[in-house]
Amino acid sequence: MDARVTQAERTVYVDLDGTLIHSDLLWETLFLAARQDPKLLVKVPVWAFRGKACLKAELARRVRFDAASLPYRTEIVDELKALKQAGRRIVLATGSNERLAHAVADHLGLFDAVMASCDGVNLTATRKLQRIEAETGADGFEYYGNSHEDICLLEAAAEATVVAPDRTARRWQRRTGSTLIDHEKGRLKSAVKAMRPHQWTKNVLVFVPVALSHEFMNFGMLFAALLAFVSFSAAASAVYIVNDLLDLEADRRHKTKRRRPFASGRLGIPTGLKMATVLLAVSVFAALFLPIGYALVLAGYMVATTAYSFALKRMLLIDVMTLAFLYTTRIIAGAEATGVNTSFWLLAFSIFFFLSLALVKRFTELQDFGVGAGRATTGRGYVDADIETIGQMGMSSGFASVLVLALYINSPEVAQNYDIPYLVWPLCPILLYIISRIWILARRDQMHEDPVVFILQDWRSQMMIGLGAAMFLGAAYV
């Protein structure tokens, strides 16, 4: 290298995927395509067969891409700003397609040039190194990279900075003692958070048929319900992960959802796919020990949730009706797992009650987006003008569930099945209290959780549920 070339004169080359951003644009555009136009997924194997460069180019050409929404590594951006102010020449050198790379460069305004993959060339590893060395010659260069594909560039660089490295790059960094920038901690905690274990409380609904049949000491039925709970929880977590991957762009525009593990980039998309696969395997394994009827209900649930993730969640009213159906499906699954027959009263009550809670979710989401919220920003089929209508529908549906409960309590079935039927009557005002309180808090903009989870975690609601359970048991056994 020419001794007259100082560090300040060397060009700084910065990798994009995993280095400048937490994520990878190939995976990002793949899931953007799945959300924006699912029919494109049929063409992905053909494009991949033609080569990685072709796949990247075709996806970049077809998706609507917003560079501002990407999860940038703030420490790298800040360091590049300091280099820019010092007069250094900075080049974005990436294996991502040139269309996306230029969008990122234009958004940040830090780069003097862009070096990226085109329709026929996948600019990674040695190809990228050859392009850089052809530019710099004997002057040398500095490089920021993160993966095994960057090893040849890191080794050739006059000064190398390793950013949040993969396993191979980390071993190289430890061996060479190169500069390391890595704040990727708490991945296990993020993985647990991505599964949303607090949402598993919804799956307590599989125990409802056992409770209503008064078979509290039937350990065979309780074990079957427990297996159904595990199976549904694993399946639901897998769906939550896939849903988060499909909703990355919308979540990043949301004031709270942008902190989710995948939206923030703390977990990568490939990690999410692996987690979803393992969880789905656990769900299927647990289902093998239950009746075939349960397996069919679980399969129907998975089909419905997949349809919800890809399309139904963006359809006006169909989305909340689907959510109400999915809650009710948990009760049906518990009945199939334990061999208990479900009644018309239970299903009717469930549909109205959970439709009300689903509408609470949409109501609070519109509140979060505020004035001017539209379909493009919310990722749903609603606009800000719908918020009052959603509120009215939600409260009406909740009160309809109380009416169904009152009619059931007054039916001959209750007189036959309960020793002291009048003790069941307090369930109506208890339910009215829970529903009314949820909607009052929602209108105050104080409902920031899933309403089902809120009910199961709020101490006032827990107190009401405990009182209702005591009345229920008293009516059945006293």
List, for residues 118-172, the tens digit of each pLDDT value: 988 999 999 999 999 999 988 899 999 999 999 999 999 999 999 999 999 999 9
Regions of the chain short of the pLDDT cut 70:
1-5, 184, 371-379, 448-449, 477-478
173: burial class by Cβ within 10 Å (0-12, 13-18, 19+)? buried
CA distance 454 to 333: 23
Nearest to 117 by CA among 128, 105, 130, 104: 128
Residue 257, number of CB atoms within 10 A of its CB: 17
Q: What is the largest CA-CA distance in the chain?
A: 98
179 in Cβ contact with 161 (< 8 Å): yes
Return phi, psi of residue 268, to 5°. Answer: -85, 160
Confidence (pLDDT) at 3: 47
Nearest-5° angle of CA 39, CA 41, CA 42?
Answer: 75
Q: Produce one character per residue of 46-80: b if its CB has 16 or more CB atoms within 10 Å, e if not.
A: ebeeeeebbbbbbbbeebebebebbbbbeebeebb
Helix axes 427-443, 344-369, angle to 10 degrees: 20
Confidence (pLDDT) at 373: 67
Which tokens in the block code for residue 321? 């009706």
283 in Cβ contact with 235 (< 8 Å): yes
CA distance 334 to 357: 20
Confidence (pLDDT) at 2: 47
Nearest to 306 by CA among 35, 98, 101, 48: 35
Nearest to 141 by CA among 15, 326, 295: 15
Confidence (pLDDT) at 92: 97
CA distance 197 to 4: 60
392: burial class by Cβ within 10 Å (0-12, 13-18, 19+)? exposed
179 beta partners: 161
438 in Cβ contact with 455 (< 8 Å): yes
Q: How many helices (H) and strands (E) does the chain have?
A: 23, 6
What is this structure's pTM? 0.81
Confidence (pLDDT) at 462: 85
* 141 φψ region: left (φ > 0), alpha (ψ -120 to 50), beta (else): beta
Confidence (pLDDT) at 26: 95
